[in-house]
């Protein structure tokens, strides 16, 4: 049995044990978290969220890309979210290689350079500030009053706010 088969079996067994539920599609706390796909990050546990409380958008490095802005625009305009947390983390794999080295590796293997930005970075705090600036400058976001950035320390579990100025 593959890992995926095991995960699906677990999900269905969990569903059989639960009471019928009908959580709303609108996040109850009107918050969206943009963070890294790193398996050590559980945004719900870190922030004490329950199912239905918030949306979490994850990608490599927690980069604010055009697709993240697309998702946030939908979230804010159609699902009522008003606050955005951008959370990067210490010991991020996106700090262990460069945009150029990865693009060159892909080109050597496939014959094509990727059409998307890799989004590597060297300093998490600087990258959080850059992500917040991208959000502030987007004409597509309806709510920019509460855009805040944080760094999560995977070793200690502490979350520290990044001065956005």
Measured over the CA atoms of residue 54, residue 59, residue 60 and residue 61, the dihedral's sign is: negative
Task: Give the Cα separation of 38 and 58 in Å (integer).
Answer: 9
- What ranges make up the beta strands (E) of the chain? 31-36, 54-59, 83-89, 146-152, 159-161
How long is the chain?
165
Domains defined for the chain, CATH in brackets: 23-161 (3.40.1050.10)
Q: Looking up tokens 């976001």, which residue turns up?
A: 141
Q: What is the pLDDT of residue 165?
A: 75
Q: What is the pLDDT of residue 72?
A: 98
Q: What is the pLDDT of residue 24?
A: 77
Q: pLDDT digit of tens for each residue in the chain (165 aa)?
A: 999 999 999 989 988 898 777 667 899 999 999 999 999 999 999 999 998 999 999 999 999 999 999 999 999 999 999 999 999 999 999 999 999 999 999 999 999 999 999 999 999 999 999 999 999 999 999 999 999 999 999 999 999 999 987
Say what the pTM is: 0.92
- CA distance to 17, 100, 101, 113, 114, per residue, from 109 (Å): 46, 14, 12, 10, 11
Task: Give the Cα separation of 50 and 87 in Å (integer).
Answer: 18
Orientation angle between helical segments 124-137 and 66-79, nearest 10 degrees: 50
Q: What is the pLDDT of residue 79?
A: 96
Task: Give the Cα separation of 38 and 154 in Å (integer).
Answer: 10
Under 8 Å between Cβ of 36 and 92: yes
Q: What is the pLDDT of residue 135?
A: 98
Q: What is the pLDDT of residue 25?
A: 84
Q: What is the largest CA-CA distance in the chain?
A: 52
């Amino acid at each position: 049995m593959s890992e995926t088969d095991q995960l699906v079996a677990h999900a269905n067994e969990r569903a059989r044990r639960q009471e019928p539920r009908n959580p709303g599609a609108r996040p109850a706390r009107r918050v969206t978290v943009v963070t890294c796909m790193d398996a050590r990050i559980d945004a719900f546990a870190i922030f004490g969220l329950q199912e239905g409380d918030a949306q979490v958008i994850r990608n490599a490095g927690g980069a604010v890309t055009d697709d993240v802005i697309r998702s946030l625009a939908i979230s804010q305009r159609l699902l009522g979210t008003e606050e955005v947390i951008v959370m990067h983390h210490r010991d991020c794999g996106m700090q262990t290689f460069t945009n150029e080295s990865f693009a060159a590796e892909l080109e050597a293997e496939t014959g094509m350079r990727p059409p998307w930005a890799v989004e590597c970075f060297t300093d998490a705090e600087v990258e959080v500030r850059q992500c917040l600036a991208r959000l502030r400058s987007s004409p597509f976001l309806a709510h920019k009053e509460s855009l805040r950035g944080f760094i999560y320390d995977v070793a200690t579990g502490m979350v520290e706010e990044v001065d956005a100025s």
